[in-house]
Amino acid sequence: MLATIVYGFTIGAILYFFSIGLSITFGTLQIVNFAHAMVYAVGVYLFITFLPWLGGVYPLAAALAVVAMIPVAYVVERFIIRRLYGESLDYAIIATYAVLLIGTDLIKWIWGTLPQPVRDPVGAYIQVGEVDLPVYRVIVVASAVAVFLGLRVFFKRSIIGKIVVAALEDRDGVRCLGLNVNKYFSIVFLIGSSLAVLGGVLYAPIATSEPYMGFHILLVAFAVVIVGGMGNLTGTFISAFVLGMVIAITARLWSPAADTMVFVVMAIVLIFKRSDTQE
């Protein structure tokens, strides 16, 4: 049972890393950013490529992958999302989907369709009672909590964070103060993308990587964002861990239903929660 709980927290942590960016784009621009999954998946594949080059030094390869994906995320934000944003939300959504298609196919082209396993970089276990817990998973969960606290400080204390929070409330109001809202949104967008890549890199040793990995996590992350409330960062944190736990427990009882259970939860939330998602 303890192993299941730790597994649930681990999945929750990865979901949290991935969902922050989605939640921010939802909150700021009201669009579904399918391209987020592309950034995530390509980032992980870059990491897998960098790892042997850098002599298997895990943190270095991870950092390099995150840095390498920042320009890609910037291009997506600047030239696709923001350009279409003023015209139609639907077009922006479809365009990001197109980017995901392109990214997925590029991965298949360059790296092939075979799953890519990555070795557990820590490899140590702690014994709690009768169960062996991988230290690595504990590190993943701890880093998610650290990121959550870090983001809280960022949005409460730093000037960029404060501007973004204010703009989430009232975009035009902030614009009237003479601030370039878009600039701050792009900064937050890049932070969200980097965290997604980081989440993917952390997840790579736990699950094998395959070209459609982005699409799979994206579907679950949508549920996280809808359950947690769009643009609500604390809500995202809580719902990521709750849904992670739902996945872990369902997987223990009946593994094929694990991912689908998340959507059942989401449907129930949609039925009972009216205010946030309604027009």
Partner 1 sequence: MSAKPTISESSPSGAKKGRVLLELALIAACFLVMAIFVRLYWVVDFCIFCILVLSFDLLYGYMGRLTFGHVLYYGTGGYVASLVLVHLSPNPFLAIAVGVASGTLIAVVLGSILVRLRDAPFALSNLAFNQIGFWLANAGLQDYTEGEDGLSSMAESIGFLDFTSQPVAFGFMLVCMLLVFWLLRTFTLSPYGVMVRSIKENEERVKFLGYSTYFYKWLTFVVCGSLATFAGTLYALYYGFVAPNLLNPFGNIEIIFAVLIGGAGNLFGALAGGVVFKLMSNYLATAISRWELLMGVLLLILVFRFKRGLTGYAIDLRLRISRRRAAEEA
Contact 18, 40 (CB under 8 A): yes
10 or 25: CB nearest partner 1: 25
Kindly tell me the burial class for residue 105, based on how many C-beta atoms sit within 10 Å of its own C-beta (0-12, 13-18, 19 or more).
exposed
88 or 158: CB nearest partner 1: 88
Minimum Å gap between C-beta 92 and partner 1 is 8
Q: Bridge partners of 126?
A: 133
Whole-number Å distance between alpha carbons of 217 and 80: 22
Kindly tell me the burial class for residue 127, based on how many C-beta atoms sit within 10 Å of its own C-beta (0-12, 13-18, 19 or more).
exposed
Minimum Å gap between C-beta 101 and partner 1 is 4
Residues that bind partner 1 (CB under 8 A): 26, 30-32, 80, 83-84, 87, 89-91, 93-95, 97-102, 104-106, 108-109, 219, 222-223, 226, 230, 256-257, 259-260, 263-264, 266-267, 270-271, 274, 277-279
Residue 40, Cα to own-chain centre: how many angstroms?
8
Q: Bridge partners of 128?
A: 131
Contact 221, 244 (CB under 8 A): no
140 or 188: CB nearest partner 1: 188
156 or 273: CB nearest partner 1: 273
Minimum Å gap between C-beta 115 and partner 1 is 18
Minimum Å gap between C-beta 259 and partner 1 is 7
Minimum Å gap between C-beta 211 and partner 1 is 10
Minimum Å gap between C-beta 222 and partner 1 is 5
CA dihedral 49, 53, 58, 59 (to 10 degrees): -100
68 or 219: CB nearest partner 1: 219
101 or 177: CB nearest partner 1: 101
* DSSP reduced 3-state for 62: helix
